[in-house]
Amino acid sequence: MSDREINSWEGFGEMRLIYFPESRDSYIQEAVEQYEKILRQQIERCDKMEEAVEPKDYGKLSTITIGLCGGDGIGPVIMEQAKRLLHTLLEKEIADGKVALKEIEGLTIENRLEKGKSVPADVLEQIKKCDVILKGPTTTPKGGTMESANVTLRRELDLYANVRPVTVPEEGIDWMFFRENTEGEYVLGSSGVEIPGILDMDFKVITDAGTRRIARTAFEYARKTGKTKVAIVTKANIMKKTDGKFSQICNEIAEEYPEIKAEDWYIDIMTANLLNKDIRSQFQVFVLPNLYGDIITDEAAQIQGGVGTAGSANIGDQYAMFEAIHGSAPRMVEEGLAEFANPSSIFKATEMMLRHIGLTDASNRLAKALHTCCETEKKLVATGLRDGATCKEFADYVLSKL
Ligand code: IPM
Ligand code: MG
């Protein structure tokens, strides 16, 4: 019987922990060993990031394979309509064999729970055979040890840039968020340390290489689109090592872009700034660590009209995955509202995907239709409630404008 088993024997574990310091020692020892393992894995990940990889050139592929994952909750409902758009927009490309649409089976919460894997191996294999993925939201079990499918896919496919545009034309808001997507609070989010009854500790990881690549992506975007400012958003006054390094490296990269002004901001005041109508339209491009990016992009999406209106791109050098910014909305399904889900989010993601893989005409056609339906004409509005259009009705409306 191990020391640990004796300690928790007959439910006296917590008492022993408090009163017998040697049992603390065994937890500490275990945590130190875990920490060493984690540290070595993360350093290995850094070494891999430093190896130069040529980004995939979609223009050179004879066939671009688009993988389609329905996901959970309202996922299959909105994805069904996104597929209709793709079949219409890419009719010629599909007929010519330039594009192949491939259904990915098994990225469902039922299958994931049954297999005990956030992304079962055979599902990951199917996904890796594709060039890009359009994915419906997936459900993440709360607590336990199962990682979110999103986090697994972002890591396995090394999708380091989470790119999220938010616009409110009538207010002059044109924001582009570059959220670091593979590290920060997420990378070891399921590998924390627990000393039962005493404390829990999670880890946040910021790497030089990981920060350089997201910073470069943000500044390159700013340069290409003629933007003049990039906001580097952290909490470097408190998270001195990780956010301190993130800010420092972003500022170093900024020196390569003298025409662009890099501004350091703290995340707390930035969340307030986005609600401040007097100044918010001045912001253009944001670069942030993972969790801050997660939170602030939901806030930004809400300002645009709700999370149902925002698309999200997960970009890596070899793969890219496009999805709605929001989750699977199990509550909507429970309340019988799934058919009223707003598909605008996945439609925007579709538009971004088409642009990313070089199908610019199809992307522009969709962008124009979405602009008419969501911003100018607004004949039908999907509110996510019974008072709004159904998902299918809204899709018919967009299809009619293609
Ligand atoms: C997002 C989502 C995910 C995240 C969840 C589903 C794991 O909120 O893409 O923003 O936290 O990144
Ligand atoms: Mg989120």
Distance between Cα 281 and ligand 1 center (Å): 25
Ligand 1 atom closest to the CA of 298, numbered from 1: 10
Indicate which atom in ligand 1 lies nearest the CA of residue 137: 6
In this predicted structure, what is the pLDDT of residue 170?
Answer: 92
Ligand 1 nearest atom to the CA of residue 294, by list position: 10
Structure confidence at residue 326 (pLDDT): 92
**What is the CA(311)–ligand 1 centre distance, in A?**
12
pTM for the full model?
A: 0.91
Q: Starting from the CA of residue 180, give the closest ligand.
A: 1
Contacts of 282 (CB under 8 A, 6+ apart): 229
Q: Which ligand is nearest to the CA of 150?
A: 1
Under-50 pLDDT residues of the chain:
1-19
Handedness of CA 161, 166, 169, 173 (dihedral sign): negative
Position 7 scores a pLDDT of 38
* Gap from CA of 258 to ligand 1 centroid (Å): 33
Residue nearest (by alpha carbon) to ligand 1 atom 9: 325
pLDDT at 211 (0 to 100): 98
Tokens of 352: 């971004």
Q: Which atom of ligand 1 is nearest to the CA of 312?
A: 9
The token duo for 113 is: 């729970």
Number of the ligand closest to the Cα of 290: 1
Query: Which tokens belong to 26?
Result: 């065994």
Q: Which listed ligand is nearest to 295 at the C-alpha?
A: 2
Q: What's the gap in Å between 293 CA and the centre of ligand 1? A: 10
Strand partners, 229: 261
* CA nearest neighbour of 68 among 13, 123, 146: 123
For position 267, what pLDDT does the model report? 98
Q: Name the one residue in this structure whose structure tokens are 């070494």.
A: 47
Residues whose beta carbon lies within 6 Å of some atom of ligand 1: 140, 148, 150-151, 294, 312, 327
For atom 12 of ligand 1, which residue has the closest CA?
294
**CA 181 – CA 243 distance, rounded (Å):** 15
The predicted structure's pLDDT at residue 16: 43
Ligand nearest to the CA of 182: 1
C-alpha 401/C-alpha 391 separation (Å) is 16
Q: What per-residue confidence (pLDDT) applies to 136?
A: 97
- Take atom 3 of ligand 1 and give the residue whose Cα is closest: 150
Q: Ligand 1: which of 74, 148, 291, 298 to mutate, judged by most atoms within 8 Å of the beta carbon?
A: 148
**Cα 46 from Cα 208, distance rounded (Å):** 8
Q: How far is the CA of 149 from the centre of ligand 2 (A)?
A: 13
Whole-number pLDDT of residue 20: 59
User: Percentage of the chain with pLDDT > 70?
Assistant: 95
* Per-residue model confidence (pLDDT) at position 141: 80
User: Of 294, 298, 314, 352, which is best to mutate to test ligand 1, by the most ligand atoms within 8 angstroms of its C-beta?
Assistant: 294
Residue 19's pLDDT is: 47
Nearest alpha carbon, ligand 1 atom 10: 294
Q: Determine the length of the chain.
A: 402
How many CB atoms neighbour CB 97 within 10 A? 9
Q: What's the CA-to-centroid distance between 181 and ligand 1, angstroms?
A: 10
